Amino acid sequence: MLAGKRILLIIGGGIAAYKVLDLIRRLRERGAAVTPVMTRAAGQFVTPLSVSALAEEKVYSDLFDLTDEAEMGHIQLSRVADLVLVAPATADLMAKMATGAADDLASTLLLATDTPVMIAPAMNVRMWQHAATQRNLATLLADGVRVTGPNEGGMACGEFGPGRMSEPLEIVAAIEATLGGGALQGKHVVVTSGPTHEPIDPVRYIANRSSGAQGTALAAALRDLGAQVSFVTGPATVPPPAGVEVITVDTAREMRAAVLGALPADAAIFAAAVADWRVAVASDRKIKKTKDGLPQLSFVENPDILSEVSQMPEGRPALVVGFAAETDDVVKNATAKRARKGCDWIVANDVSPETGIMGGDENAVTLITSDGAETWERMGKTQVARQLADRIAAALAD
C-alpha cells in the first residue's frame, strides 16, 4: 500500500509513455498521490489532458511557469514527494541526470531534489546497450538512483532485447519496496536459480532442463517485500527479474564463488538446479570423432553449495533454504536431504514427468522444516513464490 505517499512522476518522451497512464491509475488505486511532470517530448506521446485527468492534479511542464511566486517554485516542487519516479527514463534523460544538466523543468527538478529517485528506463535495445548509456547507468547507480527494468522482449521499433519499460505493476512493486512497509526491508537475500552448464570441451556441455522460473519468481517476490536480492543465475531461459542484483554464471564452481562473494546475507535460497558432477578435465580443444572409439569422459563431483553454506562455521545466513526435486518418496527423501545438507528448510517438489512441473507454470510443494512436512496445494509458481517469501519474512522477523 502507498497510502499517504506522494510520487513526483517525471514522464519522458518515449513510446512507453503510454504505459504511464495505467501506472498512474495503479498508483492511485494504492492510495498514492501523483504529481505529474512532462518533458516537452513526452507531449508527443501522451497528452497533458489524459495525464492530468488520471492523476487528478495539474501537469507541470514549463520551468519558467514556476518562477511566478504565486506558483510552487521548482525547488519546492522537487521536494514535495516521497519519491521521484522517471518513467519512461529515456537515454537522453539518463544522460542529463548522469551529467547534472538542468535545461528544462524535469532535469532541474532531478538536480534539485533531496528525495529518493527511481528510474524506469525504456529505449531501443542498441541505445540501452550503448557504452554511453551503460556508463550513465553506472553513474546513476553509484549516485544512489534506484533502477527498475528494463525488461527484455519485443519492442515498438521491431527489435528484440532489453529496453522495454517495466510493466506498471512491476514499477508499483519496486516503489512499494523502496518506500518501506515491506516485511523484508533492510534484509539481504541471496537466491540461486537456473541450471548450470558444465563444459566437456569448448563447444559441448552438460546441462539440465531447469528454466529458472521458480527461482526468478522467488527473487521477484522477495524484492517486492523490500529485500535487497543478489540473484545468482545459471543460463536460465526465463529472464531475470528487474530490481535485483543479477550475477550470471555458467558452472557450479562459478556459482559457488558468486554465492560466497555475495555473502553476508540474512537468508540464502538455493533454487538452482546445479549439476552434481562435471567432466574431470574439460578439453580445451573440440574433441574429434576418431576411428579409435568413443571418448571416455570421467566425472568428478561439483561443490555442494547448499551444504557448504548451511555448514559455514562463521557467517552462516540465519535462514538457509534448499530445494529438492524428487520423483518418488518426496517427503522421505527431502526430509533426509534436509538433515544431510544441514539447511533449515527444504522446498520439495515432485518432478515426475506426469506432474508437468519441470518447465511448467505450476508447482506442488511440500515445505520441510524442523516442525515436519507441510504440503501446499498445487498452485502457480508466482503464488508459490509469494507464499514462500511471506514465510521467509516471518522467519527472519522471529
Active site residues: 157
- Nine-digit cell at 230? 543478489
**Site of grid cell 545438507:** 341
Q: How far is the CB of 269 from ligand C5P (least distance, A)?
A: 8
Answer yes or no whether residue 323 interacts with ligand C5P by CB under 6 A.
Answer: yes
Question: Cβ neighbours of residue 280 under 8 Å, at least 6 residues apart?
Answer: 297, 298, 299, 300
Distance between CA atoms of residues 35 and 10, nearest Å: 9
Q: How far is the CB of 32 from ligand C5P (least distance, A)?
A: 38
Closest CA to 110 of 14, 37, 20: 37
Strands 205-206 and 345-350: unpaired
Given the complex with ligand C5P, which of 109 and 305 has the nearer CB atom? 305
Q: CA separation (Å) from 271 to 91, 189, 235, 291, 385?
A: 35, 13, 13, 42, 11
Please count the other Cβ atoms lying within 10 Å of the Cβ belonging to residue 264. Answer: 11
Stretch that binds ligand C5P, among 35-43, 141-149, 231-239, 269-277 (CB under 6 A): 269-277
Q: How far is the CB of 238 from ligand C5P (least distance, A)?
A: 16
> According to CB under 6 A, which one of 60, 128, 231, 270 is a site residue for ligand C5P?
270
By CB under 6 A, the residues from 66 to 95 that bind ligand C5P are: none
By CB under 6 A, the residues from 192 to 211 that bind ligand C5P are: 192
Answer yes or no whether residue 306 interacts with ligand C5P by CB under 6 A.
Answer: yes
Size of the site for ligand C5P (CB under 6 A): 14
CB 264 within 8 A of CB 315: yes
> According to CB under 6 A, which one of 324, 365, 368, 385 is a site residue for ligand C5P?
324
Distance between CA atoms of residues 27 and 293, nearest Å: 66
Distance between CA atoms of residues 128 and 119, nearest Å: 14
Stretch that binds ligand C5P, among 118-126, 146-154, 230-238, 304-312 (CB under 6 A): 304-312
Answer yes or no whether residue 385 interacts with ligand C5P by CB under 6 A.
Answer: no
Report how far apart the first and last C-alpha atoms of the chain are (Å, whole number): 23
- Nine-digit cell at 205? 556441455
Answer yes or no whether residue 272 interacts with ligand C5P by CB under 6 A.
Answer: yes
Answer yes or no whether residue 252 interacts with ligand C5P by CB under 6 A.
Answer: yes
Q: How far is the CB of 270 from ligand C5P (least distance, A)?
A: 3
Distance between CA atoms of residues 205 and 282, nearest Å: 9
CA angle 393, 338, 343 (to 5 degrees): 45
Given the complex with ligand C5P, which of 35 and 251 has the nearer CB atom? 251
Q: How far is the CB of 324 from ligand C5P (least distance, A)?
A: 5
Answer yes or no whether residue 358 interacts with ligand C5P by CB under 6 A.
Answer: no
Stretch that binds ligand C5P, among 40-48, 79-87, 271-279, 369-377 (CB under 6 A): 271-279
Stretch that binds ligand C5P, among 95-103, 221-229, 317-325, 351-359 (CB under 6 A): 317-325
Stretch that binds ligand C5P, among 157-165, 220-228, 302-310, 363-371 (CB under 6 A): 302-310
CB 229 within 8 A of CB 222: yes
DSSP 102: -
Distance between CA atoms of residues 325 and 327, nearest Å: 7
Answer yes or no whether residue 304 interacts with ligand C5P by CB under 6 A.
Answer: yes
Spell out, one character per residue from 154 to 183, where the chain touches ligand C5P: x when CB under 6 A holds, - when not. ------------------------------
Q: How far is the CB of 214 from ligand C5P (least distance, A)?
A: 11
Answer yes or no whether residue 276 interacts with ligand C5P by CB under 6 A.
Answer: yes
Distance between CA atoms of residues 247 and 231, nearest Å: 6
Given the complex with ligand C5P, which of 129 and 327 has the nearer CB atom? 327
Distance between CA atoms of residues 398 and 394, nearest Å: 7
Q: How far is the CB of 311 from ligand C5P (least distance, A)?
A: 12
CA angle 246, 85, 179 (to 5 degrees): 75
What kind and span of H or E run contains 387? helix 381-397
> According to CB under 6 A, which one of 274, 367, 368, 396 is a site residue for ligand C5P?
274
Distance between CA atoms of residues 275 and 253, nearest Å: 10
**Site of grid cell 551444504:** 307
Q: How far is the CB of 308 from ligand C5P (least distance, A)?
A: 8
CB 229 within 8 A of CB 270: no
Tell me which residues touch ligand C5P (CB under 6 A). Answer: 192, 252, 270, 272, 274, 276, 302-306, 322-324
